[in-house]
Structure 1
Amino acid sequence: MANVDLEGSKMKAVVIGGGIGGLTAGIALSRAGWHVDVLEQAQELEPVGSGLVLAANALRALDALGLGDRVRTLSRLEGQAGLRRRDGRWLTHTTEDRVQELYGDSLVVLLRATLVELLADALGADRLRLGTAVTGVDATRGTVQTSSGELTADLVVAADGIHSPVRTALFPGHPGPSYAGVTAWRGLVRRPDLSIRSSESWGRGTVFGIHALDDDLVYYYATDRSPAGAVHQDERAELLRRFGDWHEPIPALLDAAEAGRILRNDLYYLRTPLPAMHVGRVALLGDAAHPMTPNLGQGAGQAIEDAVVLGHLADGDLSAYTAARLERTADVVRRSMSICRVTAVHNPVAVAVRDRALSLATRLRPDLMLRSMDEILAWRPPAT
């Protein structure tokens, strides 16, 4: 049923932020019958030059919007994947067939830019307002102050990122995101003439991940302990210093990397969950509601889940949205940060114990890597 007010016109929703969560929310609400405007302060949608992983839960959420199969065609997990040591020895691994057997779906690894483009096309250019900065929100009245004037909406969706100004305004006493103690690098390089297995290798407080996006392109990421805000003159040199003697193809990837195209960001997460994911007519979504470290690869997935659930529940009291999402997302934030702490272990004895424990646990339970994600990957969208 389309959302209509008593005068017969569509109910109005304003989405703040044109990232993955905001675009998906715009699609979900539009397909539920809302008139939607998605506001993005940038003049163009310019997603960062990196990749991302969408797991079974995110793909099911996209299925609810009719987009899942289009995303699945873009890439899939190749062969064996898992965790390795810095010397290349496997700690635990799985295969696409086993993922399919357990969850009825695979992992899709794709360019962030490709997903943003797909979502923007599905939303429609007439619903996307680029170059529109938001300067204030009134949660009671449902008004949004912008650089182009004031908008009034029945629903406002704040998808304005990790350091969300809307979240700060709605919850002024909340401590906000905490620094996780590690910084992250991301980049894309041409695929070298070497075997590429989707893997994440762990060292002493360090991580290096690799995913082949297609026959020509590889997405890589790395993390290391670092003071917040540290400045490096040459990010490629920093990566070579930290990871240049690791197993192949890591040195080959770094040799092929262009220094000017390496992205680096300190990692933040919401140590203290919000008391709610809504206030008045405003719903918080994605990183604005639950910023998390990338260790579970669930940042985009949880934002997409939020959007689909919001599109299903926004007809009624937004407390139903909070009830459906707050506990789940807070749990994912905690789990991801727990893994971040494990990867940040630096003491060589502790690292050896960690690696032996992972190897032994995998021998005892070969599905350990997947089964530890059961509650996250088994999620299904609400029935329509």
Structure 2
Amino acid sequence: MPKRHAVVVGAGIGGLAAAIALHRRGWQVTVCERAPEPPATGAGIGLAPNALRALDAIGVDAAHAAGSAVPATMGVRRPDGRWLTRADTADMAARYGMPPIAVPRPALTAALAAALPPETLRYGTAVTGVDDAAGRPIVRTAAGPDLPADLVVAADGIHSPLRRAYFPSHPGLHYIGETAWRTIVEAPDLRIPAMSETWGRGERFGVTPLSDGRFYLYATAVVPAGRGSADHRAELRRRFGSWHNPIPALLDRVGRLAPADVLRNDLYDLAAPLPRLHHGRIVWLGDAAHAMAPNLGQGGCQAIEDAVVLAHLLPAGDTGDGSDSLPAALAAYTVARRDRTDAVRVRARRVGRLGALRNPLAVAIRDAVVRATPTRFALRGMDDLFNGFRLPG
């Protein structure tokens, strides 16, 4: 019998993971991506143990495919350099079976794309809409041809046009009150052994070693949406140039980058959970389904979980006609993923509010509480995230 056909809208990490998982379940898969080619530049992404387990479930070894960098320690600091909390990576590996890793986002995207048949990927193919009225979706593309499908996976990002089209009464995105800068620099001479995030008053600066020896830098500040200097490099130096080492030295490297190499984005999450993660034979995952603040590093991780759970629940692509099983499988996907992802979304927003505090007294209390919390308790608080990935029985 002919294989079931899934059209994945979006070739980001969640979309590519879904394509791999469905392909390995026997589905014919077409990935439509509006960008003309895979990304060659970009920032980094952290893969927590839950995401690494999910990738392993579909036969993707992220550390082998994209490389890995495991710092000796990770934790939170003050602008003067004092550690508020710090954990040995070995302790995390012992607790969760593996440590988190950080990889350049383009390298991970390339590794995922390489796991698919080349004909699966259609770059430069913008999806203009999906007609799901007749029971078998038709995916409309700007350049044609239209694509009939048994299933459409909406992995079309935080501004998801398909989410807006099928959930028109949903309130949409919520500005969390911060903007973020992200970039990657080369600094092998600095020999930075730790992954750290430094909390100031309404500002944060993160340093993450990447798999290829470079460093992923990110910073946030509480500012109105749409505000910011035209020269992101100068603004970073103005805000963070007096903070502890090695931040000034890293900012020297940032100053040598081309302006386009420093990304700046206002930060949004979903204002409320979607009523469900499917509509007919269209299913949402990743930022399209549950956009969340980056404070827990779980946005991409939850997208990967979505992809693997979805494929696990769907019938195999090369057996039966699937006429009655797909709706039940998509309903089961909503049940399996909606509450978990929304809990992570809410938690990420709350953690962000702590990091964004500006009142001096509130900041002092926050720092004192974080410093007084034993490391074992802090690690225990991550158990539901890092050990939370489960394939439904």
What are the Cα deviations for residues 335-382 of structure 1, in whole angstroms up to 9, with x where unaligned? 100011111100111101100111112xxx222332111111002341
The CA distance in 1 between the partners of 2:213 and 2:372, in whole Å, is 36
Distance 2:72 2:281 in 1: 46
Structure 2 equivalent of residue 242 of structure 1: 239
The alpha-carbon deviation at position 283 of structure 1 amounts to: 0.3
Q: How many Å apart are 1:145 and its aligned residue?
A: 0.6
1:351 aligns to 2:363 (yes or no): yes
CA RMSD, 1 decimal: 1.5
TM-score, normalisation: structure 1: 0.94
What SS does the aligned partner of 2:38 have? Answer: coil
Give, in whole Å, the separation in 2 of the partners of 1:123 and 1:72. Answer: 13
1:26 to 12, 15, 19: 19
Deviations 1:139-171 (A, max 9, x none): 343111112121111100000000000000010
Out of 121, 128, 131, the residue aligned to residue 135 of structure 1 is: 128
Whether the 8 Å contact between 2:195 and 2:207 is mirrored in structure 1 is: yes
Report what 2:318 is aligned to.
none
Q: Which residue of structure 2 aligns with residue 370 of structure 1? A: 379
* Aligned mates of 2:145, 2:266 — CA distance in 1: 34
Asked if structure 1 preserves the Cα contact closer than 8 Å seen for 2:181 and 2:264, the reply is yes
Aligned residue type for 1:104: G
Structure 2 residue 335 is matched with structure 1 residue 323: yes
Tell me which residue corresponds to 1:5: none
Distance 1:64 1:216 in 2: 27
Letter matched to residue 276 of structure 1: R
How far apart, in 2, do the equivalents of 1:366 and 1:299 lie? Answer: 24
Q: Is the partner of 2:29 in helix, strand or coil?
A: strand
Among 53, 58, 61, the alignment partner of 1:60 is: 53
- 8 Å contact 2:62–2:108 — kept in the other structure? no
| SS across alignment from 1:193 | helix
Instruction: Indicate yes or no: 2:151 matched with 1:146.
Output: no
State how many pairs are aligned. 374
Structure 1's 225 and 98: CA in aligned 2 closer, same or farther, altered over 3 A? same
Aligned equivalent of 1:156: 152
Offset from partner CA, 1:300-340 (integer Å, 9 cap, x none): 10000000001111223210000000000000000100011
**One-letter code aligned to 2:186:** R
Listed one character per residue, the Cα deviations across residues 24-58 of structure 1 (whole Å, up to 9, x for unaligned) are: 10000010011100000111011652111001000
Equivalence for 2:276:
276
Q: 2:69 aligns to what SS in structure 1?
A: coil
Unaligned runs of at least 5 residues, structure 2: 316-324
Distance (Å, rounded) in 2 between the aligned partners of 1:222 and 1:190: 17
Indicate if the aligned counterparts of 2:269 and 2:292 stay in contact, CA closer than 8 A: yes
TM-score normalised by structure 2 residue count: 0.92
1:177 aligns with 2:189: no
Query: Separation in 1 of the partners of 2:282 and 2:94?
Result: 40
Q: State which drifts further: 273-282 or 229-238.
A: 229-238
Rounded to whole Å, the distance in 2 between the matches of 1:47 and 1:166 is: 26
List gaps (5 residues or longer) in structure 1: 1-7
